[in-house]
Amino acid sequence: MRLGNSSSFSISDRVRLLSPLSSSSSIFHAAKFQNGSSFRFQKGNVGNGVAIQASKEDSHRSVPDVVFEPFEEVKKELLVIPTIPEASLARQKYTDRCEAALNEQINVEYNVSYVYHALYAYFDRDNVSLKGLAKFFKDSSLEERQHAEMMMEYQNKRGGKVRLQTMLMPFSEFDHSEKGDALNAMELALSLERLNNEKLLKLHTLANENNDVHLVDFIESQFLTDQVESIKEISEYVAQLRRAGKGHGVWHFDQMLIDGATVA
């Protein structure tokens, strides 16, 4: 597109030439794009070309669809901020279903933690005394409680309310006539981690159905990878204990856990 006499340049967008603007030292022209943005240019001493200089006015022009009018738009936000003291001020696009589902998951984490704590107490008995397994289940119990706490913190962050629920009384005896106690306990741990993973995936699906992008991200970034790794790790423990049998092999397995296993 040509602008002016001998001064010309090409641009990909269509522009509309506006009236010349007077200046003390030279003549400025202004062009306006169809999308609303504009620039000013000046015929300068650059051969036959023009020197183009962006105007400070440009920053005030916006694409029509994303025009932000803060003082107008904020009015409707002001209307939805609760005034009653019982209601959260931070809550935004957080559905009751997501809130309830997160409280359910907090309960799952607490229940798993509780069972692991019972397993810790069993293996720590003087007549059982498998210290590696005791340590493994104590650390695992703590980790599940930490998961519950992370979810409680998140619930508050989104303006939901934490409602703790009842926990079931776990078993206190874990010996098994065929499997022995170590394998029996580790198979129980594997089933708990797999169940926990299913619950997390259901929570993830529900968050997606409710278009809760932030809750989806929270579950993905903080829990899903960890859960898959736990399942792999405990699956390997179950396989090793199935090889080891109930006797001396279990003692070796227990020593390995003392030397540094991670948690479930």
Number of shown-chain residues binding Fe ion (CB under 5 A):
5
Cβ atoms of 227 and 193 within 8 Å: the answer is: yes
Element (H, E) at 30: strand 28-33
Residue 188 CB, nearest approach to Fe ion (Å) = 13
Residue 144 CB, nearest approach to Fe ion (Å) = 5
- Of 111 and 230, which has the nearer Cβ to Fe ion? 230
Span from 17-25, 115-123, 160-168, 224-232 in contact with Fe ion (CB under 5 A): 224-232
- Coil vs helix vs strand at 204: helix
The residue number with the shortest CB distance to Fe ion is 147
Residues whose CB is less than 8 angstroms from the CB of residue 54 and which lie 6 or more positions away in sequence, other chains included: 39, 40
- Find the binder of Fe ion among 141, 152, 230, 237 (CB under 5 A): 230
C-alpha 196/C-alpha 194 separation (Å) is 5
- Of 125 and 232, which has the nearer Cβ to Fe ion? 232
Residue 137 CB, nearest approach to Fe ion (Å) = 11
Span from 78-86, 127-135, 142-150, 153-161 in contact with Fe ion (CB under 5 A): 142-150
Residue 190 CB, nearest approach to Fe ion (Å) = 11
Element (H, E) at 104: helix 96-123
- Coil vs helix vs strand at 17: strand
Other residues' Cβ atoms within 10 Å of the Cβ of residue 124: 16
DSSP 8-state symbol, 60: G
Residue 109 CB, nearest approach to Fe ion (Å) = 5
- Of 39 and 223, which has the nearer Cβ to Fe ion? 223
Binding status of residue 113 toward Fe ion by CB under 5 A:
no
Residues whose CB is less than 8 angstroms from the CB of residue 219 and which lie 6 or more positions away in sequence, other chains included: 200, 203, 204, 207
Residue 233 CB, nearest approach to Fe ion (Å) = 10
- Of 109 and 181, which has the nearer Cβ to Fe ion? 109
- Find the binder of Fe ion among 135, 147, 158, 179 (CB under 5 A): 147
Residue 249 CB, nearest approach to Fe ion (Å) = 25
C-alpha 183/C-alpha 170 separation (Å) is 18
Nearest residue to 117 via CA among 89, 143, 92: 143
Restricting to residues 41-100, name those near Fe ion by CB under 5 A. Answer: none
Phi, psi of 9 (to 5 degrees): -160, 165
* Site for Fe ion, rule CB under 5 A: 109, 144, 147, 230, 264
